[in-house]
Chain A
Amino acid sequence: DARLRRIAAKLAPVRDLL
């Protein structure tokens, strides 16, 4: 699903902060 991939990409900066 394209929306799920987009959300995962947008969440990436959050993971970078951890």
Chain B
Amino acid sequence: LLGPPMPESRVVAFEEQYGIRLPPCYRSFLTTIGNGGIGPGAGLLHLDDWDYVVLGAPIRPDHLSTPFPLSPTDPAPGPDWYHAFGPAWLDDDDAEPYPGTIALTTRGCSLYTLLVVTGPARGRVVDVNLEFDVDAPSFTHDTDFLDWYERWLDQTGNGMHSAPPDVALRDDEPPMAAILRDASDPALREVAARGLGRAPILTPAVRSLLGAAAVGDPAPEVRRTAVIMLGRRPTPSDDDVLVRALTDASADVREAALQALAG
């Protein structure tokens, strides 16, 4: 689901409450596309409650107006990167990590993706670990929120989505579609079929690829996974493939096809 757009008046109230102005791309997405819902990682957090989700408590009044110190043009930060916040931050027991940022999504465990709202990187998207002394923040290549979100949409729809959430948005990630089609290792092809099928959007091109694997892959475990993934949200156009899979040489594939058709 994608939450309904946020009225401009509520965005303004949020900005006045915290003494900031949201980066224009994120602001226009909120007011015209939606607030929270389908997106990278576990989905976009709502502007209203991301602080409860991430921190379990409301943020301090000065949290968003305090600059996030890092800049994507600086050299890559080292393991002691958080000293950039200054000694007062390190000595403050109540200080939360990552001032000047809003959490956009969780990528599992303590891994989060943030939007910088104050500081030299304002408008940029950055991957972080809430255990701030474990991993240094890593800026994505995207110039702003809309580029980040659209890249996820493109990668998802075109089958570049993969299972590991912390690497799903790297530019250099090999397309899952190509792995399913071309990899010689059946275990890799199965991972690719699973990754493709997990995407929230299955475009006709991806359905066609999964369908080809379901009836044509030489390895039964790959055919079975492709059938299961197609069968999670089948469309009428998938029936032909699923019916053909009922006569597969492997009983496991036939069983998966039967369950998909019965579902």
Contacts and interface: CB of A to CB of B under 8 A. Distances in A.
Contacts of B2: 11, 14-15
A1 B153 contact: no
B20 interface: no
B150 interface: yes
Contact of A3 (B146, B201, B233): B146
A10 B157 contact: yes
B154 A4 contact: no
Interface in B154-175: 154, 157
A11 B153 contact: yes
A8 B33 contact: yes
Given A1-B28, A7-B33, A14-B38, 13 more contacts: A3-B146, A4-B32, A4-B33, A7-B29, A7-B146, A7-B149, A7-B153, A8-B32, A11-B38, A11-B153, A13-B157, A13-B201, A17-B233
Interface in B1-16: 1-2
Interface of A: 1, 3-4, 6-8, 10-11, 13-15, 17-18
Interface of B: 1-2, 28-29, 32-33, 38, 146-147, 149-150, 153-154, 157, 200-201, 203, 233
In the A-B complex, the 10 residue pairs with the closest CB atoms:
A10-B153, A3-B146, A13-B201, A7-B150, A14-B38, A4-B32, A14-B201, A4-B28, A8-B33, A1-B28
17 contacts: A1-B28, A3-B147, A3-B150, A4-B28, A4-B29, A4-B32, A4-B33, A4-B146, A6-B150, A8-B33, A10-B154, A11-B38, A14-B2, A14-B200, A15-B2, A17-B201, A17-B233
Nearest to B153: A10
Nearest to A3: B146
User: A interface, by DSSP: helix, strand, loop or mixed?
Assistant: helix
Contacts of B32: 4, 8
B208 to A, nearest CB: 15
Nearest to B235: A17
A14 B2 CA distance: 9
Contact of A18 (B1, B29, B157): B1
A17 B207 CA distance: 14
A8 to B, nearest CB: 6
Contacts of B29: 4, 7
